[in-house]
Structure 1
Amino acid sequence: MRELARRHLGKVVAGAAIAVAGTALMVAVTLPGEAGAGEPADRRTSAGAAQQDAVPPEGVVETAPTEADQGVGSDPLTDDELKRAERIAETRALRSDARDVDGDRGPQRLSTNLSEQAPDDTAPQRRADVVFYDYKSDAVITKTVNLTTGKVEQTDVAHGVQPPPSQEELREAAQLLIADPLGADVKNDYRHATDKELSGPAQLELSGMIFRKETLRQVPSGLADCGEHRCLRVVAKVRNGPWIDTRSLVVDLSARTVSRLG
């Protein structure tokens, strides 16, 4: 790889040197007294054309190679591998039984990452861990997919475990917050910042985190199930504008309710 990089760099430097030399020759051709106004136009034109033909194009850049279908070793998952892993992991039974954040059929996908290789794996194969959340059973479902064989090798189901939220979950949490009476202050802040009405999450830049009730001395009754339920604290910002204070609000996505802290 280093030798290839040196050869490529050598070609670029050589191309630049040829281009500079060609430019100097062109200037010499058109200097007064050599190829000036006193010479016939056709002679000047033919001289310039000859110089242009002698100099290769300047600044030629090779296009980037297309992404391979299959990665190698610890390379990040390619787009094709991501799609394939998620398609294999979401089995017919899972699509039928689980529910996503909107309550629609099928699980809510949270993340897809390259699996760690076992130290005793003598024939390493590419594997992906696909993590789902099932809002019907409030369970985190992790499926390990072997990308070489195209099979699910392992399925883990856990309750009371809350991975970071996906963008789809943040949007749904923001929609619930905007529609709830406790979201009135959020809408007022948005109106004050933009002179417009806040009607949906598309008007906001969203981030957020899982709400941990263990961090509070007194937990509001509406948040008592958080931990078993999937509860989020939404961080909202006006697009290209100021932040909106949502620190006191928590959205229980499992129960589809909004509660205030304190």
Structure 2
Amino acid sequence: MRELARRHLGKVVAGAAIAVAGTALMAAVTLPGEAGAGEQADRRTSVGAAQQDAVPPEGVVEAAPTQADQGIGSDPLTDDELNRAERIAVTRALRSDARDVEGDRGPQRLSTNLSDPAPDDGTGAPQQRRADVVLYDYKSDAVITKTVNLTTGTVEQTDVAHGVQPPPSREELREAAQLLIADPLGADLKNDYRHATDKELTSPDQLELSGMVFRKETARQVPSGLADCGRHRCLRIVAKVKNGPWIDTRAMVIDLSARTVGRLG
């Protein structure tokens, strides 16, 4: 259930604010004040804004690819560079110790972006290409950002941050929807889907999904079951019937770290 991050000119770009249904009858509303798949975000900047623990560079080295497989300067990362950056970033130790959104071995991949180029050293030598690979470890609830030098095939820097919540990946949105569908609090979602389609909702694949990180400061009252959100990775999803209406799921918060569902209000 993996999917590589796509190229976006070295930055993560997503859609604007998302319209969702305002009632169980599916009237349109707008969700303000959340960070998620519907906002433009530079993952590297958001991680750097948090308190981080620097980890010494790792000794992973991989032979440089052929020139045809590389971009030049500020060119977007090629598919080969994306694959290579993520392969170098996820070391054997990290693959063994970390856990993804489904609890499987290895970290959850969030994004891979072209790093800002280093200042020109004045030698006239071609600039080295670097990528920032952003990962989430559900075992330790940590965001891990690795800066990979694509020219030398090494990890130059590793930053680990807690309490930082970058926008969700597609795999995380799908898992959040799966947990909601399976939870008793997903009854309204399933009823609305049945009303719109005359079919039973059993899988996230039946929906078009987007969403955002849930931030406790945006809610007037936070149930005790959602008190760990912020330290835990919590999402609000926006669900739409494929080729059909939006379904209001604003009140539901899915704690992916605890694999539980809570309701606001």
Q: How does 1:1-262 map to 2 (within 5 A)?
A: 68-119=68-119, 121-122=121-122, 123=125, 124-262=127-265
- Amino acid paired to 1:247: R
TM-score by length of 2: 0.72
Gaps of 5+ in 1: 1-66
Give the fraction of aligned pairs with identical amino acids, expressed as a percent: 87
TM-score by length of 1: 0.73
Shift of 1:151: 0.5
C-alpha change, 1:121 and 1:144, in structure 2 (3 Å) is farther
Contact in 1 for aligned 2:213/2:236 (Cα 8 Å):
yes
Query: Any idea what SS the aligned residue of 1:205 has?
Result: strand
Query: Any idea what SS the aligned residue of 2:83 has?
Result: helix
User: Post-superposition, which runs of at least 4 consecutive aligned residues in structure 1 deviate over 2 A?
Assistant: 118-124
Shift of 1:216: 1.8
Shift of 1:119: 2.9
In the TM superposition, what whole-angstrom CA distance separates every residue of 1:65-106 from its partner, at most 9, and x where no partner exists? xx9410000010000000000000000000000000000000
Contact in 2 for aligned 1:68/1:78 (Cα 8 Å):
no
CA distance in 2, matches of 1:181, 1:238: 20
Query: Higher helix share goes to which structure?
Result: 1
Query: Higher strand share goes to which structure?
Result: 2
Contact in 2 for aligned 1:230/1:254 (Cα 8 Å):
yes
Shift of 1:120: 5.3
Contact in 1 for aligned 2:221/2:264 (Cα 8 Å):
no
CA distance in 1, matches of 2:260, 2:244: 27
CA distance in 1, matches of 2:159, 2:175: 26
Query: Any idea what SS the aligned residue of 2:144 has?
Result: strand
Gaps of 5+ in 2: 1-66
Aligned positions, number: 196
- Amino acid paired to 2:93: A
Higher Rg of the two aligned structures: 1
Query: Any idea what SS the aligned residue of 1:84 has?
Result: helix
Shift of 1:118: 2.8
CA distance in 2, matches of 1:216, 1:194: 32
